[in-house]
Structures are given as C-alpha cells and as structure tokens.
Amino acid sequence: MSRVGKKPVPVPAGVTATVTGQTVKMKGSKGELSFDVPGLVNVAMKDGAIEVQPINQSKPARSLWGTSRAQIANIAEGVSKGFEKKLEITGVGYRAAMAGKALKLSLGYSHDIEYEIPAGITIATPKPTEITISGINRQQVGQVAAEIREYRGPEPYKGKGVKYAGEFIFRKEGKKK
C-alpha cells in the first residue's frame, strides 16, 4: 500500500480543480496546469479533495499510484504558491546578470554563457552571486536550476562553482609536500 497515495490531495483556497476522465486541471492565482493521470490509476473528486486509487494491485499500478498523487499535489501547490530554487555562485570573478530575456553567466571560461530562459520561468539576480529561479511547474524549475548548475558545478578543493543554496560541498584536502 502506498502511504503517499492513500492521502487525498486537498484543493487549496482560491484554486479551481476539475477532473475529466484521466485529466486533472487546476487553475489558481499563479496560472493553470494540467496532468494526465496514467491509465493504471483512477482519479476522482470527493469532498473538495482529489482521491487517487490504483485499478488493481499489480506492481505497475501500485508504482504509479503514489507518483500520480504527488504530481497532482505539485500542480495544486504550483498554481497557488509557485516554486522557487536559489543558486549561489562562489569564485573570484564568477557572476550572473540578466541581459534582456537571457541570463548572462561569467564562470571563468574564455567566454560568457548566455542562458535562454524558457517560457513559464522567471529568473532574478538580487546579487551578482545569487540566482533565484521561480515558476509554477516544479519539474521545470528544477530542470532549469540543474542546467545552470551544470555549467560549472562546485568543485571539492576550493568550493568554486554554482551550487544550490544550502547545499553542502564535501571538501577535499589538497596535495601535500
């Protein structure tokens, strides 16, 4: 039994949710999202909450049960509050700035990196060493953060690079004579 899947997803105040067949649509103050539930899972609206149940007790159905419930909970939170990830840049001369609709990153390479911001995502740079990524789609926010971090991930000797805010970087000792 899925512990996550058993819990119904409450619909937050100010959000309208509709379930038609296998599609769950939610509209809130931040925007509108929808999720197509896999065929091995039944979804229904009961008492102002969305309930998810597997169609049988097969392994694939039980696997998709908790996953589908988590996806529905994510769109409910996304359209009401939104999601945000923060990145920190460490290193001498490493910085980020907004250049029109692109993010300009100076990360120690011979050239600056221009990152085109996808639709539905907003990026802000409150300081040259901080990047804030926000949007309503949790997967998309995480993907954009991962792509930016990938340009220069944190290295273990000096800790230089792009890391998530609050991320612990395991430090190594350098060479000894």
Q: Which DSSP string corresponds to 90-137?
A: ESTT-EEEEETTEEEEE-SSSS-EEEEPPTTEEEE-SSTTEEEEEES-
Q: For a pLDDT cut of 70, what percent of the chain falls above it?
A: 99
Cβ–Cβ under 8 Å, residues 72 and 9: yes
Residue 173 resides in a domain: no
Are 93 and 160 within one domain? Answer: yes
Residue 172 resides in a domain: no
Domain extent for 94 = 83-164
Residue 137 structure tokens: 């789609």
Averaged confidence pLDDT in the chain: 92
Q: Among 24, 46, 80, identify where a domain stops.
A: 80
pTM above 0.85, yes or no: yes
pLDDT value of residue 2: 67
pLDDT value of residue 3: 78
Residue 138 structure tokens: 């949790």
Average pLDDT of 6-10? 89
CATH number, domain containing residue 91: 3.90.930.12
User: Which residues contact residue 134 at a Cβ distance below 8 angstroms, ignoring those fewer than 6 apart?
Assistant: 82, 83, 84, 85, 121, 122, 123, 124, 141
Q: Among 33, 57, 80, identify where a domain stops.
A: 80
